[in-house]
């Protein structure tokens, strides 16, 4: 990292490196990459909103991370839209979305 950079872009970038109090929705949160990412973001004090198709798995993960969740099928636009709206309703804003869905196609 170049510490000598100044300006809006750099300040915003630094904010995202810290993650504290950022509201992040993770789709496919209980899969391998999603769970590792959720753990990493939670350890950096990000506010997580966890999404996944399997209600049992997503509830278990949500309890583990003490985070709100929504059962959601990311391939369904209305389901995804509802999850995003619920995240905004929960935290007041949404700072980032991560899609960790799709590994089923590789299996």
pLDDT 10s digits, 72-95: 998 899 999 999 999 999 999 999
pLDDT score of 1 more than 70: no
Q: Is the pLDDT of residue 36 over 90?
A: yes
- Lowest mean pLDDT, pick from 11-25, 26-40, 54-68, 90-104: 11-25
Q: What does each C-alpha distance from 92 to 18, 50, 76 come to in angstroms?
A: 19, 16, 24
Q: Which helix (H) or strand (E) element contains residue 99?
A: strand 96-99
Sign of dihedral through CA atoms 58, 62, 63, 68? negative
Determine contact, residues 38/26, Cβ cutoff 8 Å.
yes
Decide if pLDDT at 4 tops 80: no
What integer pLDDT is reported at residue 6 of this predicted model?
46
pLDDT of residue 5: 44
Cite the DSSP H helix spans in 1-107.
Answer: 8-18, 32-43, 55-65, 77-91
């Amino acid at each position: 990292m170049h510490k000598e950079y100044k300006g809006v872009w750099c300040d915003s970038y630094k904010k995202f490196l810290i993650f504290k109090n950022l509201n992040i929705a993770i789709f496919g949160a209980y899969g391998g990459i999603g769970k590792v990412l959720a753990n990493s973001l939670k350890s950096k004090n990000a506010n997580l909103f966890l999404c996944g198709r399997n209600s049992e798995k997503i509830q278990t993960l949500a309890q583990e991370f003490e985070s709100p969740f929504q059962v959601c099928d990311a391939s369904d636009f209305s389901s995804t839209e509802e999850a995003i709206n619920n995240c905004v309703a929960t935290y007041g804003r949404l700072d980032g979305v991560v899609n960790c869905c799709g590994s089923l196609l590789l299996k």
